[in-house]
Structure 1
Amino acid sequence: MRSLPALSALATALVLATSSVALAKPPGPAAPVSEADRKFDEALNAMKAGRYAEACPVFAESYQLDPQLGALFTLAECEYNWGKLVLAKTHYVAYLTGVGKLSPEERAKQSARERIAVLQRDTLVRDIPTLAVALREGTQPGGIVKRNGTVMTPDGTPVELDPGEYVIEWTPPVGDPSTRTVTLAIGKTERIELETPKVADDAPKPPPKPVSTGITPRRIATYATGGLAVVAVGTGTVLGILALGKKSDVDANCNGGLCSQDGLDALSSGRTLGWVSTGAFVVAGAAAAVSLILFFTEPRAAERTAPTTAIRF
């Protein structure tokens, strides 16, 4: 940290030199001094050896048992050297608040520590990094956000954190979870914006439209009537030929106006075949006429698809 090592060394030396000096105690009940002193000495020995992770929690216990300002200042120094800058700043501020409540005589005894605490506090205010986590605009609210495993609120507020690496876990209300890692350096401000990942559209899609073959119901009717005309012509032709065949039977079995039974039967069959043949040709003509009308009056493709323009006056 900028310019802090020398200052911290000076403050630590001051702590070690004055650790046995009795300090002013704020009013209020206190735990047995012997236990607080024992823990303070234990923590001080660990701090001298550079074992800050071991010393700082014990300093905190000593202060809780006997809340003296000297113990609070020493705790802040220990946390600073340990790299717990946010806690150190909090305890420097608490120490300065306590010193401000002392009488002039008692405050004078804290003058050296007070000067160091002010410098440390001001430096930490400038150098403690911050991290802001927010949901990007338009992101669906909800979900769970964690910072190093602890649930947090992604409201975009900058939060003071110790320098180091932080893992942001984002479990959105829809979509797959994601993880981002950010490294906070001294004096830096970082911001992370989270958004809901895009989700594949699993909604059922409408079936594809059938490909038009160009055969419309009208065209089918055209083909059907045309086919009927062809069949009717064929039927009429066959029946006409059969009717002509019956005429030869009539000629063979009739003499003048007299006919045998075979002649009468041939005459009756010939007349029936002739009538049916004529009817078939009539049907063929009508079907052919309808087919031609349907064919020549059917709209062409361009006419069927041409857009219409409506004009409103």
Structure 2
Amino acid sequence: MTDTDLRKRARWAVAFGAMALISPRAKAQHTDPATAQTLFDSAKALMKEERYAEACPLLLNSQRLDPTAGTAINLALCYEKNGQTASAWARYLETVELAARLGQTERERYARERAKALAPTLSYLRIRGADLPAAAIVQRDGVVVDRALLSNDAPVDPGSHAIQVGAEGYKPWSTEVNVPSGPTHLDVDIPRLERNEPPAAGDMAADVSGASHEDVAASRRRHRTWGFVGLGAGAVGVGVGAFFGLRALSQKSDADAKCNGSLCQAGGPELQDDARRSATFSTVGFGVGLVAAGVGTYLLLTAPSAPAAHSNVATRIGFDGRSVLLEGAW
């Protein structure tokens, strides 16, 4: 296998998701060499006891926290011993790249040989979906599969794999496939997705009328109670804002009388600070008051109609770029 072929296989392995057998959160945000070393030592001890299923996750997390060629090659070996051939093959290729950059020729040679030996034994899974909606999302084992990679063989570990497909307006589809040990190629064909059927008008009417008068009345009371509470809180907030606004104006006037630019008489700087604090309280008061009043108004407008009235309530909330619009009709 030439160096060019090896680099192509490495990129191909990443593209088709052999690395995606790892969690989507695989990339560590910060290195942590101390924790990585602790995990590495624990994993090596488990590997000596041939407890590979327990050791591999520790090595994986060690590599996330502090990526090195040494950890990568041990992780590849652990995967290989645990029967995870695709994961092992991908990690050996990763080791080749890392070791080559670091000039670790012995590790690079060993990893190259192991990747070459594993390649003919891999299991491949091909997901095909010719009639998928444009917005469909295909996942394999919880990892999104790029639509451009569908209908291509992807190396996977032997064992069970879950395929899920979802698209807005369509019923979700899923299946589970058991991939045997390689060399093998397995195909999964995604059927044409079924559209969601909108509920019939009669069913919608039945749902609305199914609520008891007591439930509607209780919901109406809750909406109106909290609506009036919101209006009351809004009034208090606006009042507080107005009070501190007037107070800020008064304090600023007193401060201006004692200050000329940056030159102030005794007590002038304190009055300026008091004016700024009052202005801040005023702004907060007005803001809280307006929000509370808006929520209260919304709750009153959206309160269910009294059961005996049988009236219809319609509300709309919009935003015109400068202010919130709340409209109601009943």
Superposition TM-score, scaled by structure 2 size: 0.41
**Structure index of larger Rg:** 1
Superposition TM-score, scaled by structure 1 size: 0.42
